[in-house]
Structure 1
């Protein structure tokens, strides 16, 4: 089991940025965790902001070294982390949990959490990974965010943040260990089962053009595979396409 070194801070701009600064001065160890109940400048994918009410939610980052992963297996980190969150939420009976490619976590079509993974690569080798996780736990008001929700809203109850954090970290550790398994590629197959809207015809937007397509899966590099009405399959990188739902 990974030995986590948990550093809890009263408030911080971004837990990912905090660990990134430590990494750049060679002050990061495998299993370092930065946890705060008040993240003021949280970030999501493509520099989007992550808004979180103080003392209501779980926001933390973990530094990991994955020495066994090859360059074509880096997306498995995303698979293991998002699957861990799915299982963690299911433990608390959160309904209809799905992964909106590549790393948004939904419950009943509402965003309840997200992941920001930053890999540090040099010479084709993975030198370290920062895994940032945000889970909406007890927040009940999301102004101008109609697609957001929380564990509390989905279950009509309040949760103990310390217990939630402990359970999430334990589940995350269980799934991260799978990356050391020679059969680690099965994580991609498990990830596919939870993809939001997989197999359904949906609207997508790419370069200001809206089209209909059907998600048929994700390839080993993490690219989304979409089939159009002519049965042609196209590949899409993170940030290049938007689902309209």
Structure 2
């Protein structure tokens, strides 16, 4: 494992992607920065983080034999790693919001962006970007329903120590992937899935609002929702949002 610390960069994912194209990287190479000017999240959204207060980093992982058809388990392994670390910090009402946001009650505490490189039917390598709100206590008005470790626990955290804890946990869960222990990850993920089996309002890509129950995740990583007529419908990441 190699950790590269930057004082500032536009995006740790972009920096690490460029680095991987121009050099041979050691597995589990980490790029971490105190200041990220153009952080990216899901749906091409921005990740806003106050400098020197939070963890913004990206991790390079190379796979030997990981099929694209099992890619949802990479989401599971990564999000469960963050969940496990925060659970040990006694963050209350912790859950994973599909596909891989970490929530404390109804407030987001961590975002994850995974970008893969493919060879044939396999994932060659992945760049996993993680933005974790740690010691920040005041957030811009444009950020709704967010929180941090410090807001939840009143503890000021050492960012380097927290980073090491997360990397170790990710490596442990990646071992489950490499060993094809998908059932373990599946079971743990569904146990802590946000709003699972809870009546919830959703909005689809046509801006139609409906109620349903999250029942699971399909083999191709789509969210399975039980509708009011008891049918199960599957939605991709750009096809549905929570109200």
Give the TM-score of the pair, scaled to structure 2: 0.95
CA distances 1:166-192 after superposition (whole Å, capped 9, x unpaired): 211221221122111132332122111
CA distances 1:42-99 after superposition (whole Å, capped 9, x unpaired): 1001110000000000011111112222221111111000000000001111111100
Aligned counterparts of 1:115 and 1:128: Cα–Cα separation in 2: 16
1:176-195 paired onto structure 2 within 5 Å: 176-195=174-193
Residue 110 of structure 2 aligns to a residue whose secondary structure is: strand
1:1-245 paired onto structure 2 within 5 Å: 4-144=1-141, 145-206=143-204, 207-244=206-243
Aligned counterparts of 1:194 and 1:68: Cα–Cα separation in 2: 28
Q: Is the 8 A contact 2:214 2:225 kept in 1?
A: yes
Structure 1, gaps ≥5 residues long = none
Deviation at 1:142, TM superposition (A): 1.2
Deviation at 1:132, TM superposition (A): 0.7
Q: Is the 8 A contact 1:12 1:40 kept in 2?
A: yes
Aligned counterparts of 1:183 and 1:160: Cα–Cα separation in 2: 32
Aligned counterparts of 1:205 and 1:184: Cα–Cα separation in 2: 30
Q: Is the 8 A contact 2:66 2:124 kept in 1?
A: no
Structure 2, gaps ≥5 residues long = none
Residue 182 of structure 2 aligns to a residue whose secondary structure is: coil
Aligned counterparts of 1:43 and 1:162: Cα–Cα separation in 2: 22
Superposition misfits of 4+ residues, deviation over 4 angstroms: none
How many matched pairs? Answer: 241
Give the TM-score of the pair, scaled to structure 1: 0.95
Aligned counterparts of 1:180 and 1:84: Cα–Cα separation in 2: 15
